[in-house]
Structure 1
Amino acid sequence: MTKKALKKQLKKQLKKAAKQAAKNKKAIKLLKKQLSAFEAKSMSYLERLFMSNVDYPIDDFGAIAYVDASYSDTGRFGSIGIVMLTRSEVIQYSEIPENLEECALTSTNHELLAAAKAIQMAKERHIKNLIIKHDNNSIAEVAKSHSVTKTSMEEWYKQVVMKHREKMSITFKKVKGHSKEYFNELADTLANKALKAERVKRANTPLFFSLGDKFQEALAKVKICG
């Protein structure tokens, strides 16, 4: 999308917001500020918003969270990646969930953990209207009030969503995986980078470290080369 087209899009948004002046004066003020920012050539954040075709949260209490996860079957660990858009910033987050029981170590469970973490992040920022964009069907399906959960992890996730829905509007929107939607790809990249970093970390950690100092002392006395 060209800058001319982006500017036209912003003006169109401004005109639409003007019709609802009585209901949303903040939206008009914000869009005017965005238009000024465009003319000042400082539009990197807004350009990405429009290029990724997102529903921009224009009020102080709205947010959009793109969530994704990566998983290593061989290493039996996974990672989560989250990109949260608020009115004024893009928050990037990644993590390697730890202390999970063996039965919880699956790819789908890490997707659920990513969505649950996004909800927690929204709560911490006093968000009242959260849109979670995802490419895994389980994130939305398990969250339904009438869903039948199959595992303890699914039940835990469902309860997290239901509890927070008492004070927060939570909407799920499916995004096609690897569709080149900017923030969805960014969430995927964050998860993949965290997974790769953890893989390197574990590969460089000697196995005997976990066996205690006495083992290391005994090992030091062993003559490997004659």
Structure 2
Amino acid sequence: MIAKKALKKLMKKQLKKSAKKAAKNQKTIKLLKKQLSIFEAKSLNYLEQLFMSNVDYPLDDFSAIAYVDASYSDYDRFGSLGIVLLTRSKVIQYSEIPKNLEECALTSTNHELLAAAKAIEMAKERHIKRLIIKHDNNSISELAKRKAVTKSSIEEWYKNFVVEHREKMNISFKKVKGHAKEYFNEMADILANKALKAERMKRTHTPMFFSLGDKFQEALAKVN
């Protein structure tokens, strides 16, 4: 009889403890949901500023940091650029599909070079005097040297482009590990991949006659 009472008392104690724990969990879940709602309500720019507290960021109005990346499809024979430019007051996202490239320029590394060059152009437009380019491809920094040995016309162009802009802008390079969860580096990668996928979809859904040249379109116009 005593054992049954003790067991009943113990069970009540455990139930009470479990109920208390469940209530606490519910309270925590409710708080998290509220925080998530507030979090989602904030603008993307605000969230990027928040993440910037964990990474390097420009110290004055004439400095900037550019994260650059590229995506390339050997099968489709085109690529894309992804750039995140951090100024003291803004986080600027940019992506592009370079057009009219020579056959020798159609490589992944060359698109990385184009991304770095575009970042320099973006910094110049904003009167930036000190630019740090963060990249995960060694060629971006190696080919930026005045005495770099180049193997193609685009590499030679890139080297001369950086050397020329270094006369008026302090440009330095910093290697970051790719896909290592560095926020803005990941963002540059996402921008490049999204642009590549969007261009692939665009080309896939383009009617055939648009790619068959002007003569075909002229003939089609006459028929119509």
Displacement of 1:145 in angstroms is 1.5
Displacement of 1:218 in angstroms is 8.7
Structure 1 match to 2:114: 113
> Matches of 1:68 and 1:123 in 2, distance apart?
19
Q: Is the 8 A contact 1:116 1:157 kept in 2?
A: yes
Which amino acid letter does the alignment assign opposite residue 216 of structure 1?
A: L
Q: Is the 8 A contact 1:129 1:169 kept in 2?
A: yes
Q: 1:50 aligns with which of 48, 53, 75?
A: 53
> Matches of 1:46 and 1:197 in 2, distance apart?
27
Displacement of 1:80 in angstroms is 0.1
- 1:213 counterpart = 2:217: yes
Displacement of 1:50 in angstroms is 2.2
Closer, same or farther in 2 for the Cα pair 1:208/1:215, shift >3 Å? farther
Structure 1 match to 2:94: 93
Encode CA deviations 1:189-225: one digit per residue, 9 max, x unaligned.
00000000000000011222233324536998xxxxx
What is the TM-score with the length of structure 1 in the denominator? 0.74
5 Å matches for 1:32-43?
A: none
Aligned to 2:53, the other structure's residue is in SS state: helix
Q: Is the 8 A contact 1:208 1:215 kept in 2?
A: no
Displacement of 1:58 in angstroms is 1.4
Structure 2 match to 1:3: none
5 Å matches for 1:187-206?
A: 187-206=188-207
Structure 1 runs not aligned, ≥5 long: 1-40, 221-226
Structure 2 match to 1:141: 142
Closer, same or farther in 2 for the Cα pair 1:209/1:169, shift >3 Å? same
5 Å matches for 1:12-91?
A: 44-51=47-54, 53-54=55-56, 56-91=57-92
> Matches of 1:132 and 1:121 in 2, distance apart?
12
> Matches of 1:44 and 1:147 in 2, distance apart?
39
What is the TM-score with the length of structure 2 in the denominator? 0.75
Displacement of 1:46 in angstroms is 3.5
> Matches of 2:87 and 2:175 in 1, distance apart?
19
- How many residues in Structure 1 have an aligned counterpart in Structure 2? 178
Identity among equivalent pairs (%) = 71
Moved over 3 A (4+): 41-46, 214-220
Aligned to 2:148, the other structure's residue is in SS state: coil
- 1:171 counterpart = 2:172: yes
Closer, same or farther in 2 for the Cα pair 1:77/1:86, shift >3 Å? same
Which amino acid letter does the alignment assign opposite residue 209 of structure 1?
A: F
Which amino acid letter does the alignment assign opposite residue 105 of structure 1?
A: L
> Matches of 1:131 and 1:101 in 2, distance apart?
29
Larger radius of gyration: 2
> Matches of 1:214 and 1:139 in 2, distance apart?
44
Encode CA deviations 1:101-159: one digit per residue, 9 max, x unaligned.
11111111000000000000000000000000000010000001221111110000000
Structure 2 runs not aligned, ≥5 long: 1-41
